[in-house]
Amino acid sequence: MEQTIRAAVDFSGTGLHSGAPVKMRVLPAPAGTGIVFRRTDLDGFEVEAIGRNVAKVSYATSLMKKGVFISTTEHLLSALIGLGIDNALVELDNLELPILDGSALPYVEAFQRVGIKPQRRQRTYMRILRPVEVRDGEKFIGVYPTDEPGYLVSYNIFFQHPMIQRQSVEVELTRDFYKTDIAPARTFGFLHEAEQLRKLGLIRGASEQNAIVLTKTGVANGALRYADEFVRHKVLDLIGDLALLGRQLLGRVVADRAGHAMHTALVTRLLRDKSLWEEATFTPAKSAPQAVAVEARP
């Protein structure tokens, strides 16, 4: 069944790229709503978290509808998908979501505190029927059908830095795994790039409190949460970006040095060609709580 949160949750902080202060409230929403952003500073204008509203995509995933902008949505969307929350209204009084600690963990902890409520509507999934691939030079992302229903991710990154080099991870997205192994992974950046990025109007709100800061030889601001925290954060971003499909995915996603632009390009490809997927619902098997049967919907 679809789910929402049981009560409203408030957040405040600074936008990673804008550096602007922002207050945000995430509220329960009726079944069938999806995730909707509302700019309280712009007469409550609403922007749905769906692929057709994807706007600027470089160092963050942003949405725009009729000129109204919502920036850096990926961490919140990732937390919602990771916890199985289908419906929520997100009110904010500025253009960019707060970066908090640079991960999805503050969202996960807040939603767990208020609780998650089942709703009286069957959740529908996007089940992949045929392979879809997007390439850009050596960068790659694809999604493939799976024999057993599930959301699987294989991600590979490479950075010429002694703390990263080549990192790979393969995961099956479940709520418990997301909470413990993906949500805490923080965004990261390179100190030697900071000045140039600020000249481009980016990372004005970045600090050692909301990102892993990499010097040329190590980490400037303390211990990592995982040895491979960098690739885990890429998985976190991917889950948030693919939330723009408007439903949870059943398939295997493979990414190699991809990023926000390629994630959202995959979203666009899937939404444009409905022959690549079908709607499906999960029906838990009574005798085995972890097993599922899939019912295709016409």
Nearest to 39 by CA among 90, 78, 75, 80: 90
CA 288 to chain CA mean position, Å: 30
CA distance 157 to 256: 6
Q: Is 260 a catalytic residue?
A: yes
Q: What is the 3-state secondary structure (H, E, C) of 175-216?
A: HHHHHHHHCCCCCEEEHHHHHHHHHCCCCCCCCCCCCEEECC
Residues 6+ apart with CB under 8 A from 28: 4, 5, 6, 7, 8, 87, 88, 89, 117
CA 21 to chain CA mean position, Å: 22
DSSP, res 275: G
Give the bridge partners for 168, in sequence order.
Answer: 156
Give the bridge partners for 12, in sequence order.
Answer: 23
Q: Where are the alpha helices (DSSP H) in 53-163?
A: 74-82, 105-114
Structural contact between residues 179 and 108, judged by C-beta atoms closer than 8 angstroms: yes
Strand 88-92 to 35-39 pairing: parallel
| The one catalytic residue among 75, 233, 260, 263 | 260
CA distance 90 to 79: 13
Using a 10 angstrom Cβ sphere, with 0-12 exposed, 13-18 middle and 19 or more buried, the burial of residue 221 is middle
CA distance 39 to 67: 12
Q: What are the residue numbers of the active site?
A: 260
